[in-house]
Amino acid sequence: MTSLLLLHLLLLSLFHHNHSLSTAVNIHRKDQFRPEPISNLATKKPTTTTTFFEVTKTIQVPKTNPCSYLLLQHDFGFTYGNPPVLANYTPPTNCPSQNFDKIILQWEATCKGTQFDRIFGVWLGGVELLRSCTAEPTASGIIWTVKKDITRYYSLLMNNQTLAVFLGNLVNDIYTGVYHVNLTVHFYPSEVNSGNSVFGYGSLADLILPISQNVLMNDGLWFRIDNSDDAESKKFMVPQNAYRAVLEVYVSFHENDEFWYINLPNNLSNSHENGAFREVVVTLDGVEIGAIWPFTVIYTGGFNPLLWSPITGIGSFDLPSYDIEVTPFLGTILDGNTHEFAFSVTNALNVWLIDANLHVWLDKKSVKTEGQLLKHYVSPAVVSLVSNITGINGNIFTTANKFVSSVGWVKSSLGTITTNSTQRFDFSNFMVLGKDGNLQIVNQTINFNDSVHAEFPSSFFSIQSSKRFPLYLYLETVDKGNQTSSSLTNLTLGYDEQRAEAGDFGLFGSSLKNLQNGQGVLLQKGNSVYAGTGSTQQAYQYDDSKFCYFRNVRSSNYAILHDEEGKTCSK
Ligand SMILES: *[C@@H]1O[C@H](CO)[C@@H](O)[C@H](O)[C@H]1NC(C)=O
Ligand SMILES: *[C@@H]1O[C@H](CO)[C@@H](O)[C@H](O)[C@H]1NC(C)=O
Ligand SMILES: *[C@@H]1O[C@H](CO)[C@@H](O)[C@H](O)[C@H]1NC(C)=O
Ligand SMILES: *[C@@H]1O[C@H](CO)[C@@H](O)[C@H](O)[C@H]1NC(C)=O
Ligand SMILES: *[C@@H]1O[C@H](CO)[C@@H](O)[C@H](O)[C@H]1NC(C)=O
Ligand SMILES: *[C@@H]1O[C@H](CO)[C@@H](O)[C@H](O)[C@H]1NC(C)=O
Ligand SMILES: *[C@@H]1O[C@H](CO)[C@@H](O)[C@H](O)[C@H]1NC(C)=O
Ligand SMILES: *[C@@H]1O[C@H](CO)[C@@H](O)[C@H](O)[C@H]1NC(C)=O
Ligand SMILES: *[C@@H]1O[C@H](CO)[C@@H](O)[C@H](O)[C@H]1NC(C)=O
């Protein structure tokens, strides 16, 4: 039985929540996929501080001594309903060098007690630098560190800014965990005093505009998308000498859409779940310019927290952002007037948190560039659904695909550059429902490919990325009588990306294969977990021919059983 109070608290504890709870839940029991935190689990309890981590490649830094600064030290106790924590940011004027090859943001946190996984964001001048979720603590304490390469925000980091951090935490008699956080930035001076002189498409943006909310009294700077009709927008203006623009979009999904990929079509559930397909749509002045079919991040409390301790889910500590090339549309926004980006989510349930950063490249040799959109084509997502459900057992097969292509030219002191940007998407979600609502199997794959090709008078620049997000879930609940049940979760979660950049400089290619397998069981009485196990295996392999990184790691119930790491390229 679902305790309404607990469920309410649970939802409230993650976010501000302003709708009444849907009561009819036939097949899906959401509380089952988002169990109570398990710091007090009698068995398998760690007795020392556990270090959580997300497997990712080490960041390559130059052999120089970094200039490091503490940006913020804060204890996130009962912060829910408060505004973000603010601090003044100044660039590293005391550093002997003023040219930096690498800039790294470091989040270090400890927590002890019982607490949910909380989403948090770090913004500089309204530009989101990091979106992440916290780890769920244990009674004997946890610690974790997230390091993110933020070099791409270089121009922003060279000016005074306001830093904002929002982590909505709720502390009471039950949820006791306070997150103690140090946020540090490391500036690595360049090895050779070349400066950051790379010019043109491959360089870092000259200006980064926030496409986020202004600081509010009680939330982060995210836009909140609560349903499929919701569209949230922001007005902006670009300098009239821009020659390239890229919109970097951050998304995360929570509450009723935290597990959107297991949601059932509306004719099969009496709570409106809107099926298992979602896409984030981005418009510029009302015209769709691109979409995001997001990676299925599973937060540290998802399905079974023991699957994510201490190895956390792919992307959970550093949620991916997605780039949409805006250059083909520059001609329409170079008029010195305000324009508007808007975000919506097809089939959305509450709540999606979305914002973006507009990276803009400026022509330092002219005050005015011009441009024109030549071609623009969007094939809307075609979703097909086939099912043979009888009663509540059967199969549901959902597929979708989409193509977006935009071509435009921009004339600057670099000459006339014609940019062709494309996005290709492919989605398949195969679901099995069985055992009268107690079994659900989901086998989903998202292919998300994009390319940008810029043709210069006598050269070119191109980027191609093919991303593949496989997800397999086996979710089974067995009623053990006496109000107890066991929930089995076996899963596979993958993030693969092949990237290639080509131009005057030659060709730069990289390949990432990142795969997690997990198996877990939770025994629950009512809403509380009284026993459980969780094992995770992860294989991570990155190769860009200059730098390689691999890690194979296995864990079981907070303990690392095997850990192998390497930096040599095998082939
Ligand atoms: C933050 O830094 C202070 C001072 O160096 C240190 O005492 C504290 O343990 C650090 N906390 C975390 C969470 O790293
Ligand atoms: C940046 O902030 C510092 C410290 O508050 C101040 O001394 C400096 O003048 C500011 N710089 C600019 C360009 O405003
Ligand atoms: C639900 O809708 C799908 C797609 O329209 C259809 O294939 C299926 O038969 C419907 N199921 C029920 C139980 O009505
Ligand atoms: C649905 O079709 C699959 C084969 O595609 C079959 O194995 C399954 O038994 C069918 N389910 C029902 C309820 O008809
Ligand atoms: C743009 O690129 C796509 C994919 O590479 C290609 O199919 C299309 O023909 C190109 N369009 C133009 C106008 O070059
Ligand atoms: C994406 O690229 C991969 C690798 O090139 C290819 O196998 C796949 O079919 C592409 N998918 C789409 C939707 O374009
Ligand atoms: C998931 O579906 C793909 C084909 O769409 C198949 O190759 C794969 O074996 C399936 N995975 C599992 C675990 O059934
Ligand atoms: C049912 O649960 C109660 C409370 O936990 C326990 O006292 C009782 O022995 C259990 N009964 C059975 C049949 O397991
Ligand atoms: C789940 O994983 C466990 C452990 O590997 C395995 O024994 C079990 O057969 C798996 N169950 C299913 C249904 O895949």
Q: Is the CB of 447 under 6 A from ligand 7?
A: no
Residue at 279 is within a domain: yes
Beta partners for 393? 390
Q: Are 86 and 74 in contact (CB under 8 A)?
A: no
Per the structure block, which two tokens stand in for 387? 């099912």
Q: Is the CB of 451 under 6 A from ligand 6?
A: no
Ligand 2 centroid from CA 90, angstroms: 7
User: Which atom number of ligand 9 is nearest to the Cα of residue 490?
Assistant: 1
Beta partners for 548? 543
Ligand 8 centroid from CA 110, angstroms: 37
Residue at 571 is within a domain: no
Q: Is 200 left (phi over 0), alpha (psi -120 to 50) or beta?
A: left
Tracing tokens 């007795």 back to the chain, one arrives at: 47
Q: Which amino acid is at 473?
A: L
Closest ligand to the CA of 436: 4
* Contacts (Cβ under 8 Å, ≥6 apart) of 296: 261, 444, 446, 469, 471, 493
Ligand 4 centroid from CA 28, angstroms: 20
Ligand 3 centroid from CA 432, angstroms: 14
Closest ligand to the CA of 435: 4
Of 319, 326, 318, 320, nearest to 358 by C-alpha is 326
d(CA 345, CA 277): 10
Q: Are 404 and 290 in contact (CB under 8 A)?
A: yes
pLDDT in single tens digits along all 571 residues of the chain: 222 223 323 333 333 222 222 222 345 555 667 788 877 664 567 889 999 999 999 999 999 999 999 999 999 999 988 999 999 999 998 898 889 999 999 999 999 999 999 999 999 999 999 999 999 999 999 999 999 999 999 999 999 999 999 999 999 999 999 999 999 999 999 987 554 445 567 789 999 999 999 877 788 999 999 999 999 999 999 999 999 999 999 999 999 999 999 999 998 877 789 999 999 999 999 999 999 999 999 999 999 999 999 999 999 999 999 999 999 999 999 999 999 999 999 999 999 999 999 999 999 999 999 999 999 999 999 999 999 988 889 999 999 999 999 999 999 999 999 999 999 999 999 999 999 889 999 999 999 999 999 999 999 999 999 999 999 999 999 999 999 999 999 999 999 999 999 998 889 999 999 999 999 999 988 878 889 999 999 999 999 988 999 999 999 999 999 999 999 876 5
Q: Is the CB of 447 under 6 A from ligand 6?
A: yes
Domain that holds residue 70: 4-192+202-362+374-566
d(CA 376, CA 42): 59
Sign for the CA dihedral angle at 213, 217, 220, 222 comes to negative
Q: Are 290 and 414 in contact (CB under 8 A)?
A: no
Closest ligand to the CA of 158: 2
Of 207, 203, 105, 121, nearest to 156 by C-alpha is 207
Per the structure block, which two tokens stand in for 492? 């596979």
Residue at 369 is within a domain: no
Per the structure block, which two tokens stand in for 341? 């980006």
Phi, psi angles (nearest 5°) of residue 257: -115, 15
Residue at 483 is within a domain: yes
d(CA 317, CA 141): 18
d(CA 462, CA 466): 14
Question: Can you give the length of the chain in residues?
Answer: 571
Q: Whose CA is nearest to atom 5 of ligand 4?
A: 395
Residue at 367 is within a domain: no
Q: Are strands 223-225 and 142-149 parallel, antiparallel or unpaired?
A: unpaired
Mutate to test the pocket of ligand 1, among 51, 69, 70, 73 (most ligand atoms within 8 A of CB): 73
User: Which atom number of ligand 4 is nearest to the Cα of residue 395?
Assistant: 1
Helices (H), 93-199: 154-157
Q: Using a 6 Å CB cutoff, which residues line ligand 1?
A: 73, 108-110, 180-182
User: Which atom number of ligand 3 is nearest to the Cα of residue 389?
Assistant: 13
Residues 426, 431, 433: CA angle, nearest 5 degrees: 170
User: Which atom number of ligand 4 is nearest to the Cα of residue 390?
Assistant: 13
Ligand 9 centroid from CA 490, angstroms: 6
Residue at 133 is within a domain: yes
Q: Are 488 and 474 in contact (CB under 8 A)?
A: yes
Mutate to test the pocket of ligand 3, among 387, 389, 392, 393 (most ligand atoms within 8 A of CB): 387
Domains of the chain: total: 1
Residue at 408 is within a domain: yes
d(CA 441, CA 273): 17
Ligand 3 centroid from CA 390, angstroms: 10
Residue at 228 is within a domain: yes
Ligand 4 centroid from CA 205, angstroms: 53
Q: Whose CA is nearest to atom 11 of ligand 9?
A: 490
Q: Whose CA is nearest to atom 10 of ligand 7?
A: 443
d(CA 554, CA 241): 52
Please report, for residues 146, 336, 502, the alpha-carbon distance to residue 182 in angstroms, rounded to integers and kept in the order given: 11, 40, 39
d(CA 323, CA 334): 20
Of 220, 308, 310, 182, nearest to 16 by C-alpha is 220
